[in-house]
Structure 1
Amino acid sequence: MAAMPEPGYDGGVVTPPGEEAVMAAREAAASANSLDELRALLADFRGCNLRLTAKNMVFADGNPQARLMLVGEAPGRDEDIEGRPFVGRSGKLLDRMLAAIGLDRSSAYIANVIYWRPPGNRDPSDLEVSICRPFILRQIELVNPAVLMFLGNQPSKALVGRDAMAGIRKFRGRWRTFDIAGRPVPLMPTYHPAYLLRQPIEKRLAWRDFLEVKARLGEVG
């Protein structure tokens, strides 16, 4: 794999990587034969400027052998400090939602579509999403879950594309099919726990989505 130059600061302004970073990300992700290899490649990857301002890379939590994989948006402050996805208030809510369908972090695998916290919790740029996309796609392939859940708008937009552009309010709650190395996997998009903390009235809809996932996990054995 061609070495990526370290993104740096130029007069106090971060110099953004170009499209060569996206190509390097694709090459690096494709070369990973295990989750440990993928994590090591990400830790050494120099093509995303978000790593310059983040405290920690946030790779995953939970059981990589689990049948359910959840993919969230980008790390927040608490996740950046701990280096784990879904901690703090949103993580506690997610844990309660998983517990309500008989699961916990030992029976689910949790990742994010972005691996480093964007400064000020801003939305990641299109280029940052494009750079991280090959890694999360390879991560999903390596986990090879029976059922996928996307939490929030970012993973749906980044990994599904045009059909998700109308927003999570219209996209959630209906089963889709996600292709994992030629194998169709049921996908349920739903609201992000952080959104549910701001809009608790929507919890009833997310609850329906989690019940759908519970039923589907029973169907797929």
Structure 2
Amino acid sequence: MPIKAILTDIEGTTSAVSFVFDVLFPYAAAHLPDYVRQHAAELVVAEQLAAVRADSGEANADSERCIEILLGWIAEDRKATPLKALQGMVWEQGYRAGQLKGHVYPDAVDALRQWHAEGYQLYVYSSGSIQAQKLIFGCSEAGDLSPLFSGYFDTTSGPKREAGSYQRIAAAIGLPGEEILFLSDVVQELDAAQQAGLQTIGLAREGGVLEGHDTVASFAVIDPARF
């Protein structure tokens, strides 16, 4: 069956891992404490702080303790949903202030624009929050790429290394797995997508092979029509 939708990871796939670890994470770590202090009483932030307390098992943690927990999670790159949500809020401030610009590889920009023009539905699945995903593409160095995408998925759909997450995403997209092409630089994610019936291509930008999957070094050589 022909490919009708393309689902892509961000880190190491459309965008440099270094952008996340060297730019976004330090920015969040530097600005999150004051952001939480200033906005803790607002419902959207209060809900995430409640989730921090629940996830950490510290039901009585005050805002300062929640900040300590969050900074610890940033340091260990923990994929915690409330952390991702709060990071997204902090990053939004940075993007809107012009202090941040999303990194997207030029070959990815060109391919995404071409695929959109050819009628493919484009989706994102990343461990970063949907809000953070929209900011990377909406405030990118290449301009606003958000009109190219039909939807976004994050860890609320499930972990990226579990087949069930991709089954849920396929159901949400409304296509059988074999009509969806998933792109990632992580073999365990590709394995999970494959187990869910999706087509896969691995991105190895520094070279090498992601075992069990067709592997390329650039979006420029991906041809969804060949499936």
* TM-score category, normalised to shorter length: 0.3 to 0.5
Q: Pick 1 or 2: higher relative contact order, CA cutoff 8 A, min separation 6.
A: 2
Which structure has the bigger radius of gyration? 2
More strand by share: 1
